[in-house]
């Protein structure tokens, strides 16, 4: 299991379109992936779960991946976030 802290810096946070991009990318991996914010942990492959965290610009979250491609998953998702969701 690997964990990486990332900060969401795009204008709208992890809502609507960026959340959809993030979830689509997360679903490309076999590993289980979660997002942790404060004391909550949700499935990163679930739109409702991700939206329920209310992640706004400037929020730091932990990405957690567990599985055969966990390292690649975290690297890819962190890069997507760093690019402000512009693929």
pTM greater than 0.85? yes
Find tokens 């969401």 and name the residue: 8
Mean pLDDT of the chain: 95
> Which domain, by its residues, includes 24?
2-82
Check which CATH number belongs to the domain holding 53 and give it. Answer: 3.30.1340.10
- pLDDT of 34-62, one tens digit each? 999 999 999 999 999 999 999 999 999 99
Question: What is the DSSP track for 49-66?
Answer: HHHHT---TT-EEEEEEE
Domain count of the fold of the chain: 1
Burial class of residue 64 (count of CB atoms within 10 Å of its CB; 0-12, 13-18, 19+): buried
Residue 53 lies in a domain: yes
**Rounded distance between C-alpha atoms, residue 67 and residue 65, angstroms:** 7
Quick check: is 8 catalytic? Answer: no
Distances (CA, A) of 43 to 24, 77, 86, 87: 13, 14, 22, 22
């Amino acid at each position: 299991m690997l964990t990486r802290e990332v900060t969401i810096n795009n204008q709208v946070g992890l809502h609507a379109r960026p959340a959809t991009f993030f979830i689509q990318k997360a679903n490309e991996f076999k590993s289980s992936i979660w997002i942790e914010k404060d004391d909550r942990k949700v499935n990163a492959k679930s739109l409702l779960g991700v939206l329920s965290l209310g992640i706004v610009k400037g929020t730091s979250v932990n990405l957690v991946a567990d599985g055969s491609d966990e390292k690649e998953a975290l690297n890819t998702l962190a890069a997507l976030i760093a690019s402000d969701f512009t693929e």
